[in-house]
Structure 1
Amino acid sequence: MADSVRVWLVERTYSDDEQNLIILTYATPDGQRDLRKERALTSFGDHRETQVSLAADPDNLGTVEDPELREQYAREATAMADQHDPDDSL
């Protein structure tokens, strides 16, 4: 993807609305843009790896409006980028 934007995993949460749904949030290193992905868990033994970063289409990114959340995402994305190669998984 030539015009892609690198985003880093900053948050993993369980959905309040649906059981067995994990929400993965990726953000740009400046914390200003984010991408949410949902993953359904198929069983208790579901141990799929999670990519630490993605090359995302800029049109699919949202804008992080909350200044505190933007700072948190920037800290988390920077830490992930410092600790991992872009192709690493957790």
Structure 2
Amino acid sequence: MGDDAVDSVRVWLVERTYSDDEQNLIILTYATPEGDRYYRKERALTSFGDVRDTTAAVAVDPGNLGTVDDVDQQEQYATEAQRMREVHESSDVI
């Protein structure tokens, strides 16, 4: 890799869902502004008092990103990621 190699990619929160299988599991999906790559983070809530901040964006290793193959989903992720980027700073807790 050359000098223009990127250490991390900033992805923006596009979806927050609860797992159908496990009641206390939240799935956070972050995507690139283009909507073509995503990062999924699962968070188990261990108690009512278990509050961890969810930020508008996170920086992840490019190797941890998945590819969004569905065109409609790419558009949905791109729209939401760009909206989040316009409305929030990356470190905003949402």
TM-score (norm 2): 0.89
1:12-57: CA deviations, max 9, x gaps? Answer: 0000111100000000000000000000012234332201101110
Q: Please, which runs of 5 or more residues in structure 2 have no aligned partner?
A: 1-5
2:10 paired residue among 6, 12, 15? 6
Rounded Cα–Cα distance in structure 2 between residues aligned with 1:56 and 1:10: 15
Give runs of ≥4 in structure 1 deviating > 4 Å.
none
Q: What secondary structure sits across from 2:50 in the alignment?
A: coil
1:67 maps to a residue whose letter is: V
The percent of aligned pairs where both chains have the same amino acid is: 67
CA-based RMSD of the aligned residues comes to 1.1
Alignment size in residue pairs: 89
TM-score (norm 1): 0.93
Q: What secondary structure sits across from 1:13 in the alignment?
A: strand
Rounded Cα–Cα distance in structure 2 between residues aligned with 1:45 and 1:67: 39
Q: Does residue 34 in structure 1 map to residue 38 in structure 2?
A: yes
Q: Please, which runs of 5 or more residues in structure 1 have no aligned partner?
A: none
